[in-house]
Amino acid sequence: MAQKPSIAKGTRDFGPEEVNKRNYIISTIKSHFETFGFMPIETPSFENSETLMGKYGDEGDRLIFKILNSGDYLSKVDDALYTKKDASALTSRISEKALRYDLTVPFARYVVMHQNEIDLPFKRYQVQPVWRADRPQKGRFREFYQCDADVVGSTSLWQEVEFIQLYDTVFSSLGVEGVTIKLNNRKILSGIAEVIGAKDKLIDFTVALDKLDKIGEDGVKKEMLEKGITEMAIEKVQPLFSFTGSNGSKLESLKTMLSTSDEGLKGVEELSFILTAIDALGLKTSNLELDVTLARGLNYYTGAIIEVAAPERVKIGSIGGGGRYDDLTGIFGLKNVSGVGISFGLDRIYLVLDELGLFPPSVTTTTEVLFLNFGQNEALYGLKAVKALRESGIKAELYPDDTKMKKQMNYANKRGIPFVVLAGESEMDKNTFTLKNMNSGTQDEVDITALIESLRA
Amino acid sequence: MAQKPSIAKGTRDFGPEEVNKRNYIISTIKSHFETFGFMPIETPSFENSETLMGKYGDEGDRLIFKILNSGDYLSKVDDALYTKKDASALTSRISEKALRYDLTVPFARYVVMHQNEIDLPFKRYQVQPVWRADRPQKGRFREFYQCDADVVGSTSLWQEVEFIQLYDTVFSSLGVEGVTIKLNNRKILSGIAEVIGAKDKLIDFTVALDKLDKIGEDGVKKEMLEKGITEMAIEKVQPLFSFTGSNGSKLESLKTMLSTSDEGLKGVEELSFILTAIDALGLKTSNLELDVTLARGLNYYTGAIIEVAAPERVKIGSIGGGGRYDDLTGIFGLKNVSGVGISFGLDRIYLVLDELGLFPPSVTTTTEVLFLNFGQNEALYGLKAVKALRESGIKAELYPDDTKMKKQMNYANKRGIPFVVLAGESEMDKNTFTLKNMNSGTQDEVDITALIESLRA
């Protein structure tokens, strides 16, 4: 019995239309990465396990896909350890490689290993799949693409300004108008924690604050109390739960609130620089919003924190994010290399474009013309014309079998091919082709030059 | 101590220049796939193990990378089996997924699973990485790209004609002139085996014959004898060891030699159809050669066998290959779907282009203009111009820090950026920019319109 095939849980096949739509997004992003001076790199799909393990927390370690060693992988496992039948102890003995979990850690490895070939600041982009052993659920996959741009080796805040411009440029260019680019700074969060006297609980504090949208003010406060942050401390932070107004007035309010924290004031200064520059440069279609509740899951941001929310009419949440991490490559022994970068969420952007009908029709264009097949001589005659059309960049095909005309026409219809060419003995005698428009049904008898011209138009 | 990072054995990092060069090849191939009417699909990097295992022979099974199950993967292994400490028995219990080994088997799975959405004949292309646990060695990698185009659902020989045209078109378009497209047919090989009375030894025979280039006539004969093919049988095959002349004369000679084999004569007829059609259509720069020693490693070809050899001046061997397999999807329960396809060997094509100097200079173009940074106001002034340049599609950057001019110029030099813009107070007053050509050293003071014009040229 032949097996009934299935696809691995949490993974997807992409048919022609989906690939074309995904590539449209990817190539739009890439083209702007390039005008902004970013250069492409690619790293391998799997890394030595020690490169990845321990970089994403315990949860991350669990979600990393490990690759089984090849050959007799048990021969090097000693019996004492083997007998324990302890998966977590056995793993490192039978698996030395793991699938990429994100693009940031492999990039850090890349920078360290290639530091002598790289000129700092180094602006790289990378668009590749990553893999996570998450429980598959709606909209969450075990294989998905990340589209990242990062700069390493510069602490200049112009980078942050550039990244905000880049987000605005890409989303405007995709037609996704009205995204909100949210901006915060880790130093603001640290400053707040300092001012309220809960400096040692910064992570708890930010993790709780980050949930404001989801669990509301009461939920956040409850979580903070559970984590040992005092009511008095929470009292001091009260204004943050209803922070409205212009970015400028928010900044003023923060400046007052954080007046006793050097780090907090540094954060205010950084935000101020970025907001002023963006004001002067302008944004095409996006909104920039100072959002002090923005913390994001990752603990490694040390400066700017950025997140992009889809336009409000699309209920889809974050479609991109990033920030600055002052010691990107320290984990691999190269100190004091600051990094700042952003990421585009391909799958969600796809959903946004689909929902808003923003994919240009040309993206899904398939073959433009199908030559019907009336037999060997006619096919050869047609194929000569097909060859000429392709040389003019026109997507052209010959139906491979000289079956019934109806079947061939059906095939053209089903595939949405807009034109067919009929060329039988009569056309061959006159060196012409009958071009049929599948939408209007009209037919024209033309020579090869006119055929190319009509299909080009 | 921070760890010293390393890259997994047999894998590669690709820097900006390599990525750009690889993408140049890939996008050239893709664009011709599309004018020939092929549509892109993508399948997941890993498949359920049963989809892949047993499809590539024992050696293939060994070379497939298996992914360890997540979580407590030992809990479901029963003690009796576990105690044996037998890797080959344990693997299927602790690993249910495996990395793609090629693109053909996943494609067959795709066709079967999506048969209701697909219109036959279905022409798909797929350009994705595959993974093999080969011993890493020069030019052989554990992760590499395959670039495949296949048609399923048509037995028409026009497909073979089209694929030969496609090879010719792609290699001509890449500037690789003078490749040799070798053509054979499995039915010819079967016919030969039949005529010499060694029908049951067809695989041994073809495997040995395939080595003619490598181990010579004596070596092949020795191997055939070892495999139990008689001297008398080998005697009959003698003309094949020095098969020269035109394709037409080779065909005539085969027709005589195979006159008692129906299958052999069918092969002659098929080859004759293809050669005649290609004669009529012409090839741009490639040679087409009937090569009866061509068998290729894969046993699943049932009709045409195709291989492309790099131009003789480049000693690099095969840069592509393919063929017809009459029952592509039978392994997954869908019978009688014929497939025919070809593959491009990206890594080797890269080496050919590199050796022959065929990468266009534009491929490796980096940022076109760097704005020097003389301080906050100047930077903002510059960034406004940078924004305008990018909107015209020009790759432009601002140096992020206002460090010494010499350092900034060095950076431009090292990265091979052809132009820098200097804009200080004097330029700001006049609303101009000083554009310096880094090659000639000449400088011009221009307004924004002229700046865009100069850089566009």
| pLDDT attached to residue B142 | 97
Do the Cβ atoms of B16 and A124 come within 8 Å? yes
Q: Are B309 and B106 in contact (CB under 8 A)?
A: no
DSSP single-letter state for residue A239: G
Nearest to B387 among A20, A112, A281 (CB): A281
CA distances from A95 to A47, B3, B68, B97, B196 (A): 11, 19, 8, 14, 50
Angle (nearest 5°) at CA A189 between A188 and A195: 85
Residues in chain A within 8 Å Cβ distance of B14: 41-43
Residues 6+ apart with CB under 8 A from B155: A401, B326, B338
Phi, psi dihedral angles at A358 (to 5 degrees): -100, 0
CA–CA min distance A161, chain B (Å)? 10
Interface of A with B in 346-405 (CB under 8 A): 366-367, 373, 379-380, 383-384, 387, 389-390, 393-398, 400-401
B158 to A398: CB separation less than 8 angstroms, yes or no: yes
∠ CA A36-A39-A44, nearest 5°, is 140
Residues of A at the annotated binding site for L-histidine? 102-104, 132, 146, 150, 296, 300-301
Asked if A113's CB is within 8 angstroms of B7's CB, the reply is yes
Q: Return averaged pLDDT per consecutive 10 residues of chain A, 457 residues in all.
A: 83 97 98 97 98 91 96 94 94 97 96 95 97 88 97 96 98 97 94 84 80 88 91 83 86 92 96 97 97 76 95 91 90 92 96 96 89 97 97 96 96 95 97 97 97 92
Q: Whole-angstrom Cα distance, residue A206 to residue B433? A: 45
CA-nearest of A201, A145, A187 to A29 is A145
Residue B210, token pair as written in the block: 């395939």
Which amino acid makes up residue A305? I
**Strands B143-152, B339-344: parallel, antiparallel or unpaired by DSSP?**
antiparallel
B365-456 has the same fold as B16-41+102-356? no
Question: Residue A391 — left, alpha, or beta (φ > 0 → left; ψ -120 to 50 → alpha)?
Answer: alpha
Return d(Cα B124, Cα B39) in angstroms, integer.
Answer: 5
Handedness of CA A443, A447, A451, A457 (dihedral sign): negative
CB spacing of B41 vs A384 below 8 angstroms:
no
How many angstroms separate the CA atoms of B386 and B395, rounded? 9
Helix (H, G, I), strand (E, B) or coil at A204: helix
Residue A421 to residue A373: CA distance in whole angstroms: 9
> Model's pTM, two decimal places?
0.94
pLDDT of A202 reads: 76
Which one of A16, A143, A379 has the shortest CB-CB distance to B39? A16
Q: Is A58 on the interface with B (CB under 8 A)?
A: no
Tell me the residue type at A140.
R
In DSSP terms, which residues pair with A437 in a beta bridge? A419
The segments of chain B whose pLDDT lies below 50 read 1
Of the candidates B6, B87, B158, the beta carbon closest to that of A74 is on B87
* Nearest-angstrom CA–CA distance, A178 and B56: 51
Q: Measured between alpha carbons, how far is B120 from A165 in angstroms, rounded to an integer?
A: 46
Chain A CB within 8 Å of residue B87 CB: yes
All structural domains of chain A with their residue ranges: 16-41+102-356, 365-456
- Rounded alpha-carbon distances, angstroms, from residue A65 to A47, B5, B76: 11, 19, 18
Q: Half-sphere exposure of residue B39, counting CA atoms within 13 Å on the CB side?
A: 24
Closest CA to B382 of B417, B412, B423: B423
Instruction: Kindly report the CATH class assigned to A365-456.
Output: alpha beta
Residues in the annotated binding site of B for L-histidine? 102-104, 132, 146, 150, 296, 300-301
Supply the DSSP string of B344-356, one letter for each residue.
Answer: E-HHHHHHHHHHT
Residues of A whose CB is below 8 A from B113: 5-7, 13
Please name the residues in contact with A86: beta carbons below 8 A apart, sequence gap of 6 or more.
B74
pLDDT at B273: 97
Cis peptide before B129 (omega within 30 of 0): no
Find the largest Cα–Cα distance for chain B: 95
pLDDT of residue A406: 96
The answer to whether residue B82 neighbours chain A at the CB level (below 8 Å) is yes
Q: For residue B315, what are its two tokens?
A: 């000693």
Q: Which residues of B touch A91 (CB under 8 A)?
A: 68
**ipTM field:** 0.94
> For residue A297, what pLDDT is reported?
62
Give the residue ranges of the annotated binding site of B: 102-104, 132, 146, 150, 296, 300-301
The HSE-up count of residue B9 (CA atoms within 13 Å, CB side) is 10
Rounded (10°) angle between helices B376-391 and A262-281 = 50
Q: Can you give the pLDDT at residue A298?
A: 56
**HSE-up of B150 (CA within 13 Å, CB side)?**
29
Domain A16-41+102-356 has CATH 3.30.110.30: no
